[in-house]
Amino acid sequence: MKEKLEALKVEALAKLQEVTDPQALNDLRVKYLGKKGELTEVLRGMGGLSAEERPVIGQVANLVRSAIEEIITAKQEAFQQQETLNRLQAEKVDVTLPGRALPQGGIHPLNRVVQEIEDIFIGMGYKVAEGPEVETDYYNFEALNLPKNHPARDMQDSFYLTEDLLMRTQTSPVQVRTMQAMKGETPVKIICPGKVYRRDDDDATHSFQFHQIEGLVIGSKIRMSDLKGTLNQFVKEMFGPATGIRLRPSFFPFTEPSVEVDVSCFKCGGDGCRLCKQSGWLEILGAGMVHPNVLRMGGYDPEKYSGFAFGMGVERIAMLKYGIDDIRYFYTNDMGFVKQFKGI
């Protein structure tokens, strides 16, 4: 039996040395070391050996098995290394080639204007406040001195969801919510950016959805001169240091007195041009002193406190600032239009 094992070892090692692929190697492993392999068949004859011969033959069998397993392991590692090298060769990347440049986006002009306005007012000590776009009739109208059936409501044709809920027509409700949250404490100094909705026909200057930024200041002895000084500083930072403002009397239910605010045309310097329709002035926002009724509904005593408010359309500011003549360009996802503002 010892001679059979030695002969099996020589045969197996010779055939394993000649193996050139993993499948043939596995076939030989099964042939010699499998449950029905040749080594197993030889060892089945150990039952006929004497007690003295069994340990000797067992030791020889283990040496044969170890020799066969050692060469099989070495061959497997060699095949795996070659496979790895082949994959690396097939999947290699030439890092000397130039990379593919990915397109870079830019900030949308409306977002850019909102950020610029926020930066200006934050620099003046204001905080940014936000509120829901689906608003109650109370906050959107009644708390702003617009009771039910008030004729001024006709100025804002609205999207009602229920009798009491609507898409907000202005960001002014955020002002009332902020006042109530402050519970009569001062100072209040906020701006309220956000989307608003009004039933309107889309054309070059109108949209059913647009953006507003409103501001509110409440404290003791707040005067119209404070409002004028604030807006004067804003337009100089927004449109240039040579820009001036003028106030024209107007009407808003939530402010008294109320004004329309114009800026001197920053394109012609006030001399008159196509942008300002030869007037030298551009209308940009509405403002005024907070109405006593609005102060009361916000939790403030109008005998002790006063304030001013203002509101502007972001699209209007952007159209003037960048010379855009159609509001619909902001919403058509035209990459040619948006790319014009990259890097500004």
- The model's pLDDT over 57-102, given as tens digits with 9 standing for 90+, comes to 777 777 877 888 888 888 888 888 988 888 888 888 777 878 788 8
* The token pair that represents 12 in the structure block: 């197996």
The two three-digit tokens of residue 331, written as one number: 């919403």
Confidence of residue 31 (pLDDT cuts 50, 70, 90): confident
Supply the pLDDT for residue 72.
Answer: 84
Tokens 């007037």 belong to residue: 279
Residue 44: the pLDDT is 65
256 is in an annotated binding site: yes
Cα separation, 33 vs 68, whole angstroms: 8
At 209 the three-state DSSP class reads strand
Strands (E), 45-200: 127-128, 134-136, 165-167, 188-197
pLDDT at 275 over 90: no
Q: Is 293 left (phi over 0), alpha (psi -120 to 50) or beta?
A: alpha
Confidence at residue 144, expressed as pLDDT on a 0 to 100 scale? 94
Helix, coil or strand: residue 239 = helix
Whether the full predicted model's pTM is greater than 0.85, yes or no, is no
Angle at 101 between CA 98 and CA 103, to 5 degrees: 175
- Domain ranges in the chain are 1-91, 109-340
Give residues with Cβ within 8 angstroms of 283, minimum separation 6.
Answer: 260, 261, 262
pLDDT of amino acid 43: 67
The CATH class given to the 109-340 domain equals alpha beta
Centre a 10 Å sphere on the Cβ of residue 16 and count the other Cβ atoms it contains.
20
Contacts of 161 (CB under 8 A, 6+ apart): 134, 167
Whether the pLDDT of residue 270 is over 70: the answer is: yes
pLDDT confidence bin for 211, thresholds 50/70/90: very high
Average pLDDT in the chain: 88
- Least Cα distance to 264 among 248, 243, 293, 289 occurs for 243
